[in-house]
Amino acid sequence: MARRLVAAGALLIAVALVVVLMRSGGTPYEVTLQTRNASQLVKGNLVQVAGLPVGLVKEIELADNGLAEIRITINDEYAPLRQGTRAIIRQASLSGVANRYVDIQQGEMDAEEIPAKAVLPAETTESAVDLDQLFNAFDPETRDNVRVIIRGFADLTQGRTEEANQATKFFNPVLSASSRLFDELHRNDPQLQQFIIQTSQLVTDVAAKREDLAGVVSNFGTVSTALASRDDELGEAIQRLPDFLRKSNTTFVNLRSTLDDLDPLVAASRPVVRDLRPLLADLRPFAADARPTFRDLARTISRPGDGNDLVELLRVQPSVARATTERVRANGALRPSTFDSLTDSLRTGAPEMAFFRPYAPDLTGWFDDFSTTGAYDANGAFSRSGLALSAFTFTPLAGLVPVPPALRDDVLAAGADLGRNNRCPGSIERDTGENTIPFKPSADFNCDETMVPLGP
């Protein structure tokens, strides 16, 4: 009887523990992943986030649409997942079969939550790539060649593992440089796309000129034959090539510092280069319109015939130079050359030219106002003259009329003022009150400052 009571008590305790565990555990957080290839996942594989296990693979099934559906659970402390989450099936190592796991890449933590039992579409998952799939991408002949290469590397490194390990250290800078190269290509996607489009246009244009290209290839064959006939000279050039390359290497090394100094210039030129694009676009029609001009210029420089272009003119320049620069014997004496005589004449006439130089504005004004000399009134320049005889004057019609009494004294006192031929430069103008007229280039300049225009 006592044994029955103990057994019944133990059963009641076990039932109570199950009820407590069921009430405290709750429903685990589960989601289903759709993928095109389960990649040899098995039930019980880990689910990881940043290398830490956060759940397990519970079930793998085949959906009606032919995709694999992988049901996973996530621990409560990492649930729920967020929108933007991606799932990647990875391999723990290249060896082994059941060594896959699901790597969860969480979305933004402030993104919308993914509800439990949700299905993540195939666009958000990525399958692992097996080595068998990689090798199956090659045909049998390529796989055999790859096998030969691998064996060749094994034979090459046999007994030289230390050197091989040292060589692998150089992979890092190579990969880093390749990464920067691809980053630049990615950043210049528009330019690369334009380059590919223009390359296709170039290929199309080349195809349209295939007959001309055939002529180029034929001429290249002729050039190759000519080079073959000069193999001795070509061999000598190749022998000299190492010395040339050594000197070029030194030049390129010294060029590095120069290129570093050019970096500020390149940086400062970038805005200017951008502004040059519309200018170059505007220059295209100008270049097209300039073709006739350059064609005529080419004909001016060189044209068939004698004495009708600049080339022929340059050819006769030596004789002209001899006639103008060499001394000649004439009339029984050695005479100076033309340019020497001209130089002496200019040197002798320099004082006279220096004296007349300040009068250049007056001379220019004389040519400009040749027909309007005299005084000025509201209608412009004027000049009046008349013949007076005592108290009478002649009219344009040869009539004799008396001078009015109010003007008689001025007429009788008027007369021609002669000898005014030593004026100062600029004396034809009137002073504006700044005392700058008349102008004397120097204090001892020979001119009469009193010879100024009449009137106020």
Q: Is the dihedral of CA 375, 381, 386, 391 positive or negative?
A: negative
The number of C-alpha atoms within 13 Å of 243 and in the hemisphere containing its C-beta is 5
C-alpha to C-alpha distance for 117 and 142, rounded to whole angstroms: 46
Q: Is 100 exposed, middle or buried (0-12, 13-18, 19+ CB in 10 A)?
A: buried
What is the Cα–Cα distance from 82 to 104, expressed in whole angstroms?
Answer: 11
Q: What is the dihedral of CA 301, 305, 306, 310, to 10 degrees?
A: 0
**DSSP readout, 235-276?**
HHHHHHHHHHHHHHHHHHHHHHHHHHHHHHHHHHHHHHHHHH
Q: Give the amino acid at 95.
A: S
Using alpha carbons, select from 305, 338, 333 the residue that is nearest to residue 321: 338
Give me the long-range contacts of 11-17 (CB less than 8 A, separation at least 24). none
DSSP bridge pairs for 289: none
State the pLDDT at residue 222. 80
Rounded to 5 degrees, what are φ and ψ at 429? -90, 160
The helix or strand, by DSSP H or E, that contains position 107, with its residue range, turns out to be none
Cis amide prior to 80 (ω within 30 degrees): yes
Q: What is the DSSP string of 394-453?
A: E-TTS-EEEPPHHHHHHHHH---------BPTTTTSPP-SSS--S--SSTT---BTT---
Give, for 58, the enclosing helix (H) or strand (E). Answer: strand 52-62
Closest CA to 89 of 122, 137, 135, 138: 122
pLDDT tens track, the chain, 456 positions: 555 554 455 555 554 544 444 444 557 888 888 888 777 777 888 888 887 888 888 888 888 888 888 888 888 887 888 888 888 888 776 555 567 888 888 888 888 888 888 888 888 887 776 666 666 667 778 878 878 888 877 776 777 777 777 777 776 777 777 777 777 777 777 777 788 888 878 878 777 777 777 777 777 778 778 777 777 888 888 888 888 888 888 887 777 778 788 888 878 887 777 777 788 888 888 888 888 898 888 888 888 888 788 888 878 788 777 778 888 888 888 888 888 888 888 888 888 887 777 777 777 766 665 545 455 565 655 555 666 566 677 666 666 777 777 777 776 666 656 677 788 887 777 777 777 777 788 888 888 888 877 655
Half-sphere exposure for 269 (CA within 13 Å, toward CB): 6
Measured distance CA(380)–CA(365) in Å, rounded: 15
For the question of whether the overall pTM of this predicted structure is more than 0.85, the answer is no
| CA dihedral angle for residue 396, residue 400, residue 401, residue 402, rounded to 10 degrees | 130
Q: For residue 433, what are the contacts with CB-CB under 8 A and spacing of at least 6?
A: none
pLDDT, position 298: 87
Q: Contact, 35 vs 88, CB < 8 A?
A: no
Measured CA to CA in angstroms, residue 88 lies from 100, 102, 395 at distances of 10, 6, 122
State residue 17's pLDDT score.
47
Under a CB-based contact definition with an 8 Å cutoff, are residues 98 and 106 in contact? no
